[in-house]
C-alpha cells in the first residue's frame, strides 16, 4: 500500500491496526483488481489496446465521469485478457495483493462470459482460475472462492451462458460458491434474470446480485424478491427506504458496502454523504469491501480506514466490521470460527496494555 491511499483523517495507530488485521473480502472484481503493474504489463503485451502502458498515465485513465464511463474503461481492461495464461497471472497476482493486506478469505467476482465471448476457451479459463486459486492458497495462505456474475447489460444471452458455465459439471470450478449480476442497472431490470438465478440456486449457489448501486431501492426489493438475494452488492439506495432497511436488518441480508467505489463512479457525491451510518443505525449487517480497488485508487485497508472515520470507530469497532464480513461470507462454519478467532486474538493482543 502506498501513502496516498491512506485516509489521512484516520489516526495513524488505527491504520497500523487495520493493516495487520486479518480480514475477509466479499465484493471485489477479478479484472477490476488488476494492479497498475499488471495492467501495464498486459497493455504492453497487447499494444493495439487503448489502455496506457505507463502506470502514471493510468491514474488519469482511471478517472471516471460517470458509471457508464467506468464500464467503458473496465471493458478496455477486459480486452487485455486474451489467453488462459493472462487469466492465471491476473488471478494469482490479485491473490498476492489480497494476502499482503492480511485477507484470509476472499470471494472474487468473475465474469466468465466477458472472457469466453472474446475467444478464451471455457475449459482453459476454468483451469486457469482454479490453478491460480490452489497456488495462492499454498503460497499465500489466502482462500479464494468465486462468484460468477452476469454482465446484465450484455443481455439474456450472457445470463444463459453464465448459468450454463456455473452449473455444467464438466466446467463448474470447485471454488465456485455464488452467482451474481453486475454492470449498469439503468435499463437492466432485475426480474428478467429470475430463471437464471433459480437455476444457479437449484445447483447450490448463493445469490449475490449488485442492486441499488446506481438505481433506487425498488431494485434492491427486486433483487430480494425475484433473485432471492442473500447479500446485496452495494445496496446504497436502500437508505431511501426505511421498510427496506428494516427488512435487511431483520433477515440478516448483509450489504457489501464499497465507499470509495461509490464516489469514483459518482453513485454518491461525497464520502460524507455516504449512507453507511444509516445502515448501521438501522441494524443492517454492514461489510466493508473494495470493489475494483486499483481503478478507484483504493484498497481494502483504505476502505476500512474510511469506514472507521465515517462511523467513528476505534479498533474494537473496526474488528467487529471485519467479523461481519466473515459472518456474511460463504465460508463453512469451521472456517468462520477460525478467522473470527484470529481477528479476536489479534485485537485483544493489540489492545493489551
Ligand X SMILES: Nc1ncnc2c1ncn2[C@@H]1O[C@H](CCC(=O)c2cccc(C(=O)O)c2)[C@@H](O)[C@H]1O
Least distance to Zn ion from the beta carbon of 101, Å? 18
Kind of pairing between the strands at 210-211 and 176-182: unpaired
Q: Number of C-alpha atoms within 13 angstroms, CB side, residue 2?
A: 7
Least distance to Zn ion from the beta carbon of 180, Å? 8
C-alpha cell at 289: 469491501
**Count of residues engaged in binding ligand X, rule: CB under 6 A:** 21
Told to check if 114 binds ligand X by CB under 6 A, we report yes
Stretch that binds ligand X, among 15-23, 108-116, 249-257, 275-283 (CB under 6 A): 108-116
The residues, any chain, with a CB within 8 Å of residue 311's CB and separated by 6 or more, are 276, 277, 280, 317, 321
Q: Where are the alpha helices (DSSP H) in the chain?
A: 12-20, 36-45, 55-61, 67-78, 84-100, 112-116, 122-140, 156-167, 194-202, 217-225, 242-250, 259-264, 276-281, 300-311, 315-327, 333-351
Q: Which of 25, 41, 130, 213 is catalytic?
A: 213
C-alpha cell at 253: 441480508
Is the CB of 74 or the CB of 140 nearer to ligand X?
74
Paired with 234 in beta bridges are 211
213 is catalytic: yes
114 binds, among ligand X, Zn ion, none (CB under 5 to 8 A by kind): ligand X
Told to check if 149 binds ligand X by CB under 6 A, we report yes
Least distance to Zn ion from the beta carbon of 62, Å? 15
Element (H, E) at 105: strand 103-110
Told to check if 160 binds ligand X by CB under 6 A, we report no
Told to check if 294 binds ligand X by CB under 6 A, we report no
Is the CB of 291 or the CB of 301 nearer to Zn ion?
291
Concatenate the DSSP letters of all residues of 204-255 into one string. Answer: TPEE--EESSSS-HHHHHHHHHTT--SEEEE-GGGGG-HHHHHHHHHTT-EE
Q: Which residues bind Zn ion (CB under 5 A)?
A: 291
Binding residue for ligand X, selected from 51, 98, 147, 154, defined by CB under 6 A = 154
Is the CB of 268 or the CB of 307 nearer to ligand X?
268
Binding residue for ligand X, selected from 17, 61, 64, 74, defined by CB under 6 A = 74
Binding residue for ligand X, selected from 151, 209, 217, 293, defined by CB under 6 A = 151
- Catalytic site residues? 213
Q: By the criterion CB under 6 A, which residues form the site for ligand X?
A: 29, 32, 71, 74-75, 109, 111, 114, 117, 149, 151, 153-154, 182-183, 210, 213, 261, 265, 291-292
Amino acid at each position: 500500500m502506498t501513502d496516498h491511499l491512506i485516509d489521512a483523517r484516520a489516526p495513524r495507530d488505527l491504520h497500523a491496526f487495520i493493516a495487520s488485521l486479518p480480514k475477509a473480502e466479499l465484493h471485489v472484481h477479478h479484472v477490476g483488481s488488476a494492479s497498475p503493474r499488471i495492467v501495464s504489463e498486459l497493455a504492453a503485451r497487447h499494444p493495439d489496446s487503448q489502455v496506457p502502458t505507463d502506470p502514471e498515465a493510468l491514474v488519469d485513465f482511471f478517472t471516471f465521469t460517470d458509471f457508464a464511463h467506468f464500464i467503458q474503461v473496465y471493458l478496455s481492461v477486459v480486452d487485455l485478457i486474451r489467453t488462459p495464461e493472462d487469466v492465471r497471472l491476473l488471478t494469482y497476482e490479485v491473490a498476492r495483493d489480497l494476502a499482503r493486506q492480511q485477507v484470509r478469505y476472499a470471494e472474487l467476482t468473475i465474469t466468465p462470459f466477458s472472457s469466453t465471448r472474446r475467444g478464451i476457451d471455457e475449459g482453459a479459463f476454468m483451469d486457469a482460475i482454479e490453478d491460480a486459486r490452489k497456488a495462492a492458497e499454498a503460497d499465500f495462505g489466502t482462500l479464494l472462492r468465486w462468484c460468477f456474475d452476469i454482465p446484465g447489460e450484455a443481455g439474456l444471452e450472457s445470463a444463459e451462458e453464465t448459468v450454463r458455465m456455473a452449473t455444467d459439471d464438466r466446467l463448474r470450478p470447485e471454488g465456485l460458491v455464488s452467482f451474481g449480476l453486475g454492470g449498469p442497472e439503468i435499463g437492466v431490470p432485475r426480474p428478467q434474470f429470475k430463471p437464471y438465478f433459480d437455476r444457479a440456486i437449484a445447483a447450490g449457489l448463493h445469490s449475490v446480485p449488485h442492486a441499488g448501486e446506481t438505481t433506487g431501492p425498488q431494485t434492491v426489493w427486486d433483487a430480494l424478491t425475484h433473485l432471492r438475494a442473500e447479500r446485496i452488492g452495494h445496496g446504497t439506495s436502500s437508505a431511501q427506504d426505511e421498510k427496506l432497511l428494516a427488512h435487511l436488518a431483520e433477515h440478516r441480508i448483509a450489504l457489501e458496502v464499497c465507499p470509495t467505489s461509490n464516489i469514483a463512479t459518482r453513485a454518491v457525491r461525497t464520502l460524507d454523504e455516504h449512507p453507511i451510518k444509516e445502515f448501521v443505525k438501522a441494524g443492517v449487517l454492514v461489510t466493508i469491501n473494495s470493489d475494483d480497488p486499483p481503478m478507484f485508487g483504493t484498497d481494502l485497508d483504505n476502505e476500512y480506514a474510511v469506514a472507521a472515520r465515517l462511523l467513528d470507530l476505534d479498533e474494537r469497532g473496526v474488528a467487529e466490521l471485519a467479523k461481519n464480513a466473515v459472518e456474511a461470507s460463504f465460508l463453512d462454519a469451521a472456517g468462520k470460527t477460525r478467522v473470527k478467532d484470529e481477528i479476536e486474538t489479534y485485537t485483544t493482543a493489540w489492545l493489551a496494555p
